Amino acid sequence: MVTPQQQDPILTFGEAMALFTADQTGALSTVPQFSRRLAGADTNVAIGLARLGFEVHWLSQVGDDSFGAYIRQCLEQEGIDCARFATLAGEHTGLMFKEKVLAGRDPKVEYFRTGSAASQMTAGHADGLDCGHFRHLHCTGITPALSAGCRGLTWTLLRQARAEQTSISFDPNLRPTLWPDTATMRQTLNEMAALADWVMPGLEEGRILTGQQTPEAIADHYLDMGCAAVAIKLGSEGSYFRGELDGRRQTLEVPGFKVDEVVDTVGAGDAFAVGFVSGMLEGLGPEAAIRRGNLLGSAAVQVPGDMEGLPDRNGLAALELRAPAP
């Protein structure tokens, strides 16, 4: 197995937001107190990989407000390289508010991110960046949904990474309300996914994007476009993998892990991405990488917050020790 210390750096990018989670159940309009945390699918993955010992770089920008300062402090404390993390004068940082729910129900969330500093990024933010310096690029479908400029940045990084033979993981992370229409979302994200090595949709996301219904048909859609592997998240049931192994397409179905209580489902897919991507980069092979992804996803839903359940190396070892044998 290749350890993270032997890896070249990983590049992540997107929008980090300040998250305010309700301290008690009820409508957001009636809850009097909230707890502040960090949010953002891209930052969840960046933090998760950094905690596992990878050298992670973050490309983004925030406003020159207290929330932007808070986000910078959080990322730097996680050991993430913020050399390309800018503060934009006179602009604001994106915010997110989330309900507290019981019985594992998906919480209602409200965003205040229109016109945020991060949404004003453009392809120019990649100027001077050498994608060949990085071993891996992680990308989600959220960033290109933020603005035309952010789409340009995403295309630039994907194409540069592909040209430099930097491996790419792509999580669609559908946010339909951020797109002008479903057709544009489908076309853009499918074209972007075609540049990736590993595509990681949820089952319903895959159905929306491809028009196919079964995991196998969804996976074959992306494999036929040139992707090397597809990992489809099936929620509590586990995950489905299909990819080129030993010169032919092979399928793996890896069951999920039982959890005693589902506290917060937000961030589970990002935790899966951390497990799968880290496992693949470490050379564990698809089955072990999928299993790690399932394990981290199950840990994520048992705690409040988007990334609080992401473990460091010692925490990962403890989770693996307690997990039932495959």
If one counts the domains in the chain, the total is 1
Residue 59: give the domain boundaries.
4-322
Classified as helix, coil or strand, 266 is: coil
127-134 long-range Cβ contacts below 8 angstroms, 24+ apart: 129/59, 129/84, 129/157, 129/160, 130/164, 131/11, 131/157, 131/160, 131/161, 131/163, 131/164, 131/166, 132/164, 132/165, 132/166, 133/8, 133/9, 134/8, 134/9, 134/10, 134/11, 134/57, 134/161, 134/166
So which residues are the catalytic ones?
270
What one-letter code names the amino acid at 279?
G
Tally of CB atoms within 10 A around 131:
20
Q: Of 130, 159, 12, 8, which is closest to residue 78 (Cα–Cα)?
A: 12
- CATH number for the domain spanning 81: value is 3.40.1190.20
Task: Please give the helix or strand (H or E) that residue 20 lies within, else none.
Answer: strand 17-25
Please report, in tens digits, the pLDDT of each residue of the chain (326 residues total): 666 655 689 999 999 999 999 999 999 999 999 999 999 999 999 999 999 999 999 999 999 999 999 999 999 999 999 999 999 999 999 999 999 887 667 788 999 999 999 999 999 999 999 999 999 999 999 999 999 999 999 999 999 999 999 999 999 999 999 999 999 999 999 999 999 999 999 999 999 999 999 999 999 999 999 999 999 999 889 999 999 877 788 999 999 998 888 877 777 899 999 999 999 999 999 999 999 999 999 998 888 767 788 999 999 999 999 888 76
Tell me the whole-structure pTM to 2 decimals.
0.94
